[in-house]
Structure 1
Amino acid sequence: MTKHTLRLFSLLFVFAAAMSLISCATDSTEDSIKASKPVDVDLTISMQGAATRSAAPSVSGRAATVSRTSWDDPNAVPGEMMRHCFVVAVQNGKIAGVLVSDDYPEETNYAERLTLHINPGKTTIYSFANIRPAQIGIDPATAVGTAAPDFDRMTYGVAGNVNAASDFTDGIPMSGKLQTTITERTSHIDLEVIRMVAKMRLTLTNESAADFRVRSVTVSDITADARDNLMLMPDIIDDERTAPNLSAAATAANRTIKIGGDDGTTLLAGGKNSIETVFYLNESVARSTGCFILNVETDQQTVSHRVAMTDWNTIARNEYLRIPIRLNDYRISFDVEQFTAIGVLPTVRYDKDMLTATFASYGEFHLRPTVTRLSDGKVLTAGNEWSLTEWKVLSLMPEGEAGTCIYDRMPYLQPSSLTIEGFMGNRPGTALHQAFFHVTGLSYAIPYKVQIIRQ
């Protein structure tokens, strides 16, 4: 092969390689242009108490869908659904799209379909129902291309302490958030909104020996209706639960619900009938005693029913709480004994159905309960007419076993005497306990809280 021929082959090879590079560069550029072209994504919005989740698109042929939970909400009643909605799409810190629905002729549990014309890329979509864009500072006509507000830190005023769904003037406000990546294959995204209020259903029965009339029920520590009392976005725990997301400005107050007007409603003795009442509340956190207190006012007395379940020290948005309350005819009290130096006896305070005993010194102590029937004042006989069936620790501060917490010996139930016996240490702090009393003739155990404070 001659030198000329070799040179010709070399030139041809270089030319072919150059054409190949040009072709690759052209293909890459075309793919880049294609990937950056806007796509049309159909959005549907449903009401569901589900969590905000980060989801990657799933590909099926040429279409991808970011799926959420179903549209079913079996506990919804008229007045609790969507009257109108809008969405805000955010990319790279700027508003990439705003879609606003018309007001619906009738409320609906899902909205279809809003079409979003948007560039592919990482996207956060904020969804709202029964909230107007202007209420959170959005002007749909001018918002696209502007810096997105920090929706996650935005506050909103919710007036959720009402007795009926019809009391919400523009429907129950709802919000939600989805983070996803939109590609040229994405064609449909399901969004969810979460109601910004909770609903409570109380069922009251009377297991005492006498009829009485119930006039009202009061729930403690409920977030007051006020401007900017809640955060706009929900605080998601998992797919089923949210946590209260109160603003720093939120305040708490008692929430009282009238039963049957001024005269009240009769509850027959022996559980022969029941009263059911349903109402709405702002999401809330129990503050003073670590649990919500239900006070039931009757024509004879005010009965305190402290919600004992540990997961009911919070009420989160979109929760539906069903609480049975069985009113009885018994009062529980304690004699507090401490075997220590003269002049440093514990102080005792009763707050409805909780005992608070404050100790100023170390030493052995006993708690001796007494059960009294209110209707006739009879003190019931321990062991025959009542028993102390359970004693447990709810919280310790500082935490730890005996010798680390406030006790040198943990208080325990002494079965023979039906007393609680323990030994107080020298470390300041608090302990919260719960006792359960079974009274002959009652079908359930009466819960009672005991708070111990070591000064």
Structure 2
Amino acid sequence: MRGNIRLLYIIMCGMAAFLAASCQGDLPGGEDAGEGTAVTVTLDIHSRANGTRATGVPEGAEYDIEKIHSWWVAFVNQGDRKVQAVVERPAGNTSYVEQESVDMKVAKGKYVLYAFANISQDSLYQQTGLQFTPGKQCPDVDTATLTLLQDWNPGTDIPMTGKQQVEVTGHNSVSIEVVRMLAKMDVTFTNESGKDITVNSLTMEQSPTDHVPLLPNYSYLQNGMPEAADTAGARAYVRDYGGDALLTKYAGGMARSYRDVFYVRESQSRTVTRRYRLAVSVTREDDAASTQLFALTRDLYSIYRNDHVVVPIVLSDFQVGVDARFYPPIGGYPAVVTSGSGEDFYCEFGTEGDFELFLSVRDALKGNALVYGAGDPCYSSVVKAVSDPQNILTKHPSVSATGEIVGRLNSNKGKASVDVEVTVHRNGAADQVYDRRIYLIRK
């Protein structure tokens, strides 16, 4: 469910070709002039579009606010940490770009480059107190934070930052990335039910604070943010659609969809399962009251800046539930389904033994009538994956000939999970597919 598109903007500082005529003017000491000699540098500013982690398909910026509108770069000496120069985008360049080149002069030497796009020097100073002044010490930019609000105004350019150590020799090019400080959420609601549906709102988690580190963590950019250490500090973020998201009923062919793109701060899920839970409020045709639907995203533990998170949400007529039957030894304890809603269910077991998990599929358009393994509609199921890191299973769960999911627990304590795919068939063809995760807890 997750596609993390790395839309990294990059500022390239390429050394100009050393033509005989220009060398004498720019390098008074010749090509072997020492550190501190000024040379002409071409700043080539362009966007680099990486693909999703899942598919590798490259994507460029979709909207202007995702592009570079303004930029500036501070050259800081690695040795004494003094600001050598600050280079800004020429005032006459006002268009949204993914690539741009300008010429400048800078002394040879080793630098830390700090790059900023879509946030002016004045704005940075007002929000953080940071100021880059040539000849002065570099401010403590590495620990600074910036306040970013949600909802993010869709007419406001997304700020970008980057940091890179470089050496200007007169014979090489140097580069620095500027990375969007917000993640892009791309949610599509699709109505595959037999009634018109209005999507009222979408609720998800957001970061505990409005403050975001000014500079990116490049390890997180490559590998993603880790899971949260605890569940403290979770806050709800509500997207209110105000009746605009009306989806007409599905009548074959293409189902009606509603796409919502918005931008969020980096965060880690703080639910018990460490995965983001989405709550969707909908009102069905002829229903006086709204209905709240819940689902846990599959394997989405964190959202980091510059991620592109694609979330397809299908609104359908069928509900999938889970029940458990346990066959413990004499003196054992029965299984208890402690909770279950949306995509996830929890079954607790007090001892070892065989178990059966029963899936129940109900048709919402027919008074929540049960759907069976035969007839029309009907359903089938398959176990897609089993995770048992604490080795609590003697026999991994599988689907029996009669449709139950059967397995066996041993005496070890811990937690395992079973991923199940349920396919509802209608009119002899696969109609809707549901993914469910069942947690098995051996206490």
Question: Normalising by the residue count of structure 1, what TM-score does the alignment of the two structures yield?
Answer: 0.74
Superposed CA deviations along residues 24-71 of structure 1, whole A, max 9, x for unmatched, are: xxxxxx8998222323333233344569xxxxxxxxxxxxxxxxxxxx
> What amino acid is aligned across from residue 337 of structure 1 in structure 2?
R
- 1:73–1:359 Cα change, 3 Å: closer
Paired residue for 1:257? Answer: 239
Describe how 1:346-357 pairs up with structure 2 within 5 A. Answer: 346-348=335-337, 349-357=339-347
Superposition deviation, residue 264 in structure 1? 4.8
CA–CA distance in 2 between the matches of 1:223 and 1:336? Answer: 36
Q: Distance in 2 between matches of 1:303 and 1:203?
A: 15
1:367 lines up with 2:357 in the alignment:
yes
Aligned to 2:250: 269
| From 387, 394, 402, the counterpart of 2:380 | 387
* CA distances 1:147-202 after superposition (whole Å, capped 9, x unpaired): 55352x4433322543x521x3xx2110112232221334x544331111111222
Aligned equivalent of 1:334? 322
Counterpart of 1:375 in 2: which secondary structure?
Answer: helix
CA separation of 1:409/1:99 partners in 2, compared to 1, >3 Å: closer, same or farther? same
- Measure, in 1, the Cα distance between the counterparts of 2:393 and 2:354: 10
- Give the superposition deviation at 1:413: 1.5
The 3 A distance-change label for structure 1 pair 251 and 245 is farther
Q: Which residues of structure 1 form unaligned runs of 5+?
A: 1-29, 52-71, 399-404
The separation in 2 between residues aligned to 1:44 and 1:391, in whole angstroms, is 48
**What is the aligned-residue RMSD (CA, Å)?**
3.3
1:146 to 134, 137, 143: 137
Bigger mean CA offset, 110-119 vs 245-254: 245-254
For 1:246 and 1:88, the matched residues in 2 are separated by 33
CA shift in 2, pair 1:432/1:247, >3 Å: closer
Cα distance change, pair 252–34 in 1 and its aligned pair in 2 (3 A): same
Q: Write the distance in 2 (CA, Å) between the matches of 1:285 and 1:119.
A: 42
In the alignment, is residue 413 of structure 1 matched against residue 401 of structure 2? no
Q: Per the alignment, do residues 159 and 38 of structure 1 end up closer, same or farther by CA in structure 2, a change over 3 Å counting?
A: farther
In structure 2, C-alpha distance between the alignment counterparts of 1:302 and 1:80, rounded to whole Å: 33
Partner of 1:297: 281
Q: Counterpart of 1:402? A: none
Percent pairwise identity: 22
Q: Secondary structure at the match of 1:268?
A: coil
1:243 partnered with 2:227:
no
When residues 246 and 94 of structure 1 are mapped into structure 2, their CA distance, relative to the original with a 3 A threshold, is farther
Could you tell me whether the CA contact under 8 Å between 1:231 and 1:246 is conserved in 2? no
Distance between the aligned counterparts of 1:332 and 1:257, measured in 2? 26
Q: 2:207 aligns with which of 223, 232, 238?
A: 223
CA distance in 1, matches of 2:381, 2:413: 28
**For residue 282 of structure 1, what is the aligned residue in structure 2?**
265
User: Which residue in 1 is equivalent to 2:22?
Assistant: none
Which ranges in structure 2 are unaligned for 5 or more consecutive residues? 1-28, 52-57, 285-290
Q: Give 1:275 deviation, angstroms.
A: 1.4
Gap change, CA 1:50 and 1:438, over 3 Å in 2: closer
Q: Which amino acid aligns with 1:278?
A: V
Distance 2:144 2:269 in 1: 23
Q: Does 1:119 align with 2:108?
A: yes
Shift of 1:110: 4.2
CA 1:225/1:100 → structure 2, altered by over 3 Å: closer, same or farther? farther
Question: Are 2:86 and 1:130 equivalent residues in the alignment?
Answer: no
One-letter code aligned to 1:223: S
Structure 1 pair 319–243 and aligned structure 2 pair: CA distance change class (3 A): same
Aligned pairs (5 A) from 1:189-228: 189-218=174-203, 220-224=204-208, 226=210, 228=211
Instruction: Specify whether residues 433 and 420 from structure 1 end up closer, same or farther in structure 2 by C-alpha distance, changes over 3 A only.
Output: same
Q: Tell me the CA shift for residue 282 of structure 1.
A: 1.5
The reply on whether 1:38 has 2:25 as its aligned counterpart is: no
Q: Deviations over 1:314-343 (max 9, x none)?
A: 322222233332221111112211112457
Instruction: Indicate if the aligned counterparts of 2:277 and 2:294 stay in contact, CA closer than 8 A.
Output: yes
The one-letter amino acid paired with 1:406 is I
Work out whether residues 201 and 239 of structure 2, in 8 Å CA contact, stay in contact via their aligned partners in 1: yes
Contact 2:227 2:301 in 1 (8 A): no
2:334 aligned partner? 345
Task: String of CA shifts for 1:370-402, please: whole Å, max 9, x gaps.
Answer: 111122221111244111123412x4443xxxx
Residue 375 and residue 319 in structure 1: after superposition, are their counterparts in 2 closer, same or farther (change >3 A)?
A: same
Between structure 1 and structure 2, the one with the greater Rg is 1
Alignment coverage as a number of residue pairs: 383
**CA 1:81 to 1:205, structure 2 compared with 1: closer, same or farther past 3 Å?**
same
CA distance in 1 between partners of 2:216 and 2:227 (Å): 9
Structure 1 segment 419-430 matched on structure 2, within 5 A: 419-430=404-415
In structure 1, how many angstroms separate the alpha carbons of the residues matched to 2:129 and 2:87? Answer: 15
The 8 Å contact of residues 324 and 358 in structure 2, kept in 1 or not, is answered as yes
Give the drift of 1:76.
3.0
Secondary structure of residue in 2 paired with 1:184: coil
Quick one: distance in 1 between partners of 2:313 and 2:392?
Answer: 34
Q: State the shift of 1:234 in Å.
A: 2.0
**Alpha carbons of 1:414 and 1:105: their partners in 2 closer, same or farther (altered >3 Å)?**
closer
Alignment of structure 1 residues 411-450 onto 2, 5 Å: 412-441=397-426, 442-450=430-438
Q: CA deviation at 1:450?
A: 0.8
2:8 aligned partner: none
Contact 2:227 2:274 in 1 (8 A): no
Residue 180 in 1 paired to residue 166 in 2?
yes
Whether the aligned pair in 2 keeps the contact of 1:207 and 1:269 (CA below 8 Å) is yes
